[in-house]
Structures are given as C-alpha cells and as structure tokens.
Amino acid sequence: QKEVEQNSGPLSVPEGAIASLNCTYSDRGSQSFFWYRQYSGKSPELIMSIYSNGDKEDGRFTAQLNKASQYVSLLIRDSQPSDSATYLCAVNETPLSYQLIWGAGTKLIIKP
C-alpha cells in the first residue's frame, strides 16, 4: 500500500516565525510532489510543486525534496495568520499518471 504520511498537528507557530511542514512517502519511484493548502470548509488549492531534489522557492514558500530519504517539506517564512490552514501533501507515482496519493494533512495555526 503506497502511503503519504503527515503529522496531523495542530502545529502552532508564532506570527513572523518560520513554519516547517513535513511529509514522507513510501514509494521510492515517486516523481512529482505537491503541497496544497485547504482552509476550513474550502477546497484544496495548489501552492507548490516540486519535481527534483533540492529547494524550490516561491515568495514566502520553499519546498524541499529529498528523494533518497523520501521526504518533502514546506517552509513558510514570515508566517501570517492568513497562513492558518490545513496543508496537504500529494505525491504522483509516475509522470504518465494523473493519480495522486494524498496525505491526511497537517493543521497549521499561526498565533498573532
């Protein structure tokens, strides 16, 4: 059974600090990795995608991928109360597949 694991949280971070969210996956052949943000009662929205080892930065967000250790992380710098949400990690097995394996999500709370 291919799995994506996330700590359910809640993860509480002071406003202005760095929030660090982690995700591990079981299938060593996984190719594509995504972070989605989901506000309570709303639909998931893509915030980052990463396909190769290393870091990818987009504004206050940085995704980090380490295929050897099978983990992907999301860093949020200068955390804002509006970042409070559940963050879902999703992993795609092969470039030709649309199927995503989803983690259950980490709830992030930014304290003013």
Partner 1 sequence: EAQVTQNPRYLITVTGKKLTVTCSQNMNHEYMSWYRQDPGLGLRQIYYSMNVEVTDKGDVPEGYKVSRKEKRNFPLILESPSPNQTSLYFCASSPSDRNIQYFGAGTRLSVL
How far apart CA 89 and CA 104 sit, in angstroms, is: 8
* Residue 103 in contact with partner 1, rule: CB under 8 A: yes
Reduced to 3 states, what is the DSSP secondary structure of residue 90?
strand
Least Å distance, CB 6 to partner 1, is 8
Segment contacting partner 1 by CB under 8 A, of 18-26, 40-48, 64-72, 73-81: 40-48
Which tokens in the block code for residue 83? Answer: 């970042």
* Residue 98 in contact with partner 1, rule: CB under 8 A: yes
* Residue 105 in contact with partner 1, rule: CB under 8 A: yes
Query: Omega before 95 cis (within 30°)?
Result: no
Select 32 or 70, whichever has its Cβ closest to partner 1: 32
* Residue 45 in contact with partner 1, rule: CB under 8 A: yes
Which tokens in the block code for residue 73? Answer: 């992380």
Least Å distance, CB 75 to partner 1, is 21
Cβ(100)–Cβ(34) under 8 Å? Answer: yes
Select 17 or 46, whichever has its Cβ closest to partner 1: 46
Cα dist from 35 to 5, 76, 100, 112, whole Å:
13, 12, 12, 24
Judged by the rule CB under 8 A, the positions of this chain that interact with partner 1 are 8, 32, 34, 41-46, 49, 88, 92, 95, 97-100, 102-105
